[in-house]
Structure 1
Amino acid sequence: MNTKVIEKINNLKSDRVHGAGWLSRQAISILNLALDKSQAHTTAEFIEEIQMVASELVKARPSITPIANYIGQFLQQIIQRSQSEKDLASLKNFAKAKGSDLIKSSISAVSKAVEYGCGIVTDLDTVITCSYSSTVCKVLELSSQREARFRVIVAESRFEDNTYGEITAEQLMRHKIPTEIIRDEDIGFRISKADKALVGADSITADGYLINGTPTLTLAEAAKKKKIPFYTICESAKFDIEGGTNKEAELEPGFEKTPLDLITGIITEKGTMQPSLVIAYIEETRRLSP
């Protein structure tokens, strides 16, 4: 494997700053780099080479479902194409185009989800959130640009030496959004000041869980207790069709499972979906998958 590709994969594995959506698009970009650096002489060698890179990318971040989903789509299309396309240069060009298409598709899905997300942020709201989600930040930034007047409470989201809520708060404050950081242990007390909760997602599983950074579960339980609407927002590529993140052992440190029955709605590029419908959608998609 090319040394530059290996370096990029290692960077992806150790990245604890960016959200799952960005990381999934970065994974596709690494695949595109592998295409450029390929030393294959035949289409068979090329497929084998790309499969190896794809496997390493998925193993690098096993809890981030869109990496597995997008790479799975990529491989399926390339392998299918290779059955009829025996010219190596043409197959490489096809693969590069598909990689670029997937990145554009992801960006478009996030943009649509953000539009739907803005629909839940209204004047004089107090929104509480935790961890770091670039999509949540985009919702709040766009809502502010559209002159909605609201404030945000961010749990510090401490894990080891990192406080991911502070990353969120710094980004929001750069956009002049009134933001307050609270200690994680104060969520149960301070949530009574909020009108709704909004968090991101690394995965939505078929067995009924949201996987996201700590302290999402604490926030969801507190919201349920106080009868405050709790939303998660993500592109549907984060639905765990393959079932790869259902096992607790596969969760990365700093991530946790939150039961979907604590969630009011899941906001995607398709609109706001009820958790039960999302589970049915995942199961049906899995059944129809080749």
Structure 2
Amino acid sequence: MASEQPATSQPSSSASSIMEVSESFDIKATYLKFLEDDKEMTMPVAAIETLVTLLGITQPSTSYELIKILENATQSLKKSVKNSISLSAGCDLFMRFVLRNIHKYGDWDSCKRHLVANGRLFVERAKTAREHIAENGLPFIRDDDVILVLSYSRTLHSLLLNASKKRIRFRVIVTESRPSNKGSLMAKVLREAGIPVSLVVDGMMGYVIDKVDKVFCGAEGVAESGGVINHIGTYQLAVLARNANKPLYVVAESHKFVRLFPLSPSDLPTEFPVQFSITEPEYELERSPRVDFTPHQYITALITDLGVLTPSGVSEELIKMWYD
């Protein structure tokens, strides 16, 4: 008898069985454990690792059930984690991978084995993205450069470290990047690598912009327009850079490309909107927005694992990812 295609139109088990699988697997705890165990892992990769783990332990009888389980899990994970734009990119990319591959095998067992095996391969390729970026970005760092950096980015750190290992002599100015103060971490790890660093307060951006040759930053997510969602303060730094005719380069893995199209910084959802008060609220800085949106016109180029892209090139790559 010929093998049957996995059924997708009708579920073979009740909705309650799907809910049982989703509820028995603590997706948030699994996701946070991946991040805890590997400090170098990005949020999108941790999300993909979590979904691959769930895929490996599920026992659905049809592709319909599997898709519903993954959809429920991704929705739960997105709702349970703050500032989940980067995480959402990983979830959406993995769901697209599953939907594109779920019909390639005739019997269900082979289909599931294929998805698990290739899902793990998918994760491994995502992990190597940083190494490709570290090579692709080398031509943009030259001897005697003074580079302005905001916040901490693992990917940008890898690029700067690679440039230093190639014996390119450059200096870095890092803003402290409140309220997270991750600029202090960036300054620390660069100094440990023997790279000359000056750590400045955020209010000095305008003061130092004429003293630098170029500006670099990472990204929490890259929108369809090529605009960037990143640590709060990136937008104002980008405006300063453009007014001073300084190039702004964004380093970002392609698994951070998200299907969002904000038109301005105010279009970006935030859990902490600007509020006014005649009294001084307690922990005011702790309730500040963590990310902002920088429109594409302020970005010179994006250095990615796919190559160096113009902002308009991001849309082309998203089309390839989702519709090819």
Quick one: which of 51, 60, 63 aligns to 1:31? Answer: 51
Name which of structure 1's ranges 208-217 and 50-59 shifts more when overlaid on structure 2. 50-59
Structure 2: distance between partners of 1:191 and 1:215: 14
Matches within 5 A, 1:99-110: 99-110=119-130
Give the partner amino acid of 1:131. Answer: S
| 2:222 is the counterpart of 1:204 | yes
The structure having more radius of gyration, on CA atoms, is 2
The root-mean-square deviation of aligned C-alpha atoms, in Å, is 3.0
Structure 2: distance between partners of 1:283 and 1:41: 32
Q: Which residue number corresponds to residue 303 of structure 2?
A: 267
TM-score (ref. length: structure 2) = 0.75
Q: Which residue number corresponds to residue 183 of structure 1?
A: 201
| 2:137 is the counterpart of 1:137 | no
Q: Which residue number corresponds to residue 6 of structure 2?
A: none
Give the partner amino acid of 2:323. Answer: S
Q: Which residue number corresponds to residue 80 of structure 1?
A: 103
Equivalent pair of 2:238/2:298 in contact (CA under 8 Å): yes
Equivalent pair of 1:208/1:260 in contact (CA under 8 Å): yes
Q: Which residue number corresponds to residue 136 of structure 2?
A: 116
Q: Which runs of 5+ in 2 are unaligned?
A: 1-21, 272-288
1:134 Cα deviation from its structure 2 partner? 0.6
1:27 Cα deviation from its structure 2 partner? 0.9
Closer, same or farther in 2 for the Cα pair 1:150/1:267, shift >3 Å? same
Q: Which residue number corresponds to residue 224 of structure 1?
A: 242
Runs of 4+ in 1 over 6 A off after TM superposition: 244-247
1:5 Cα deviation from its structure 2 partner? 3.1
Quick one: which of 262, 273, 293 aligns to 1:257? Answer: 293
Equivalent pair of 1:62/1:245 in contact (CA under 8 Å): no
1:282 Cα deviation from its structure 2 partner? 5.2
Q: Which residue number corresponds to residue 314 of structure 2?
A: 278
Closer, same or farther in 2 for the Cα pair 1:95/1:214, shift >3 Å? same
Give the partner amino acid of 1:248. Answer: D
Closer, same or farther in 2 for the Cα pair 1:216/1:249, shift >3 Å? closer
Closer, same or farther in 2 for the Cα pair 1:74/1:271, shift >3 Å? closer
Structure 2: distance between partners of 1:225 and 1:208: 20
Q: Which residue number corresponds to residue 248 of structure 1?
A: 267
Residues 233-288 of structure 1 show CA distances to partners (whole Å, capped at 9, x for unaligned) of 11233333x33777835356311011111111111223322223434x257548x7
1:18 Cα deviation from its structure 2 partner? 6.7
Q: Which residue number corresponds to residue 8 of structure 1?
A: 30
Equivalent pair of 2:151/2:182 in contact (CA under 8 Å): yes
Equivalent pair of 2:145/2:213 in contact (CA under 8 Å): yes
Closer, same or farther in 2 for the Cα pair 1:261/1:18, shift >3 Å? farther
- Larger proportion of strand: 1
RCO higher in 1 or 2 (8 Å CA, sep ≥ 6)? 1
Closer, same or farther in 2 for the Cα pair 1:278/1:31, shift >3 Å? closer
**How much identity, in percent, do the aligned residues show?**
27
Structure 1: distance between partners of 2:53 and 2:294: 35
Residues 74-132 of structure 1 show CA distances to partners (whole Å, capped at 9, x for unaligned) of 331453347x3323xx3432222122121122133332222111211111111111122
Structure 1: distance between partners of 2:262 and 2:125: 23
1:28 Cα deviation from its structure 2 partner? 1.4
Residues 193-231 of structure 1 show CA distances to partners (whole Å, capped at 9, x for unaligned) of 211111111222224521111111121111112111111
Secondary structure at 1:211 match in 2: strand
Equivalent pair of 1:131/1:214 in contact (CA under 8 Å): no
Equivalent pair of 2:235/2:292 in contact (CA under 8 Å): yes
| 2:186 is the counterpart of 1:168 | yes
Closer, same or farther in 2 for the Cα pair 1:278/1:24, shift >3 Å? closer
Equivalent pair of 1:212/1:255 in contact (CA under 8 Å): yes
Secondary structure at 1:51 match in 2: helix
Matches within 5 A, 1:29-68: 29-38=49-58, 40=60, 44-59=64-79, 60=81, 62-64=84-86, 66-68=89-91
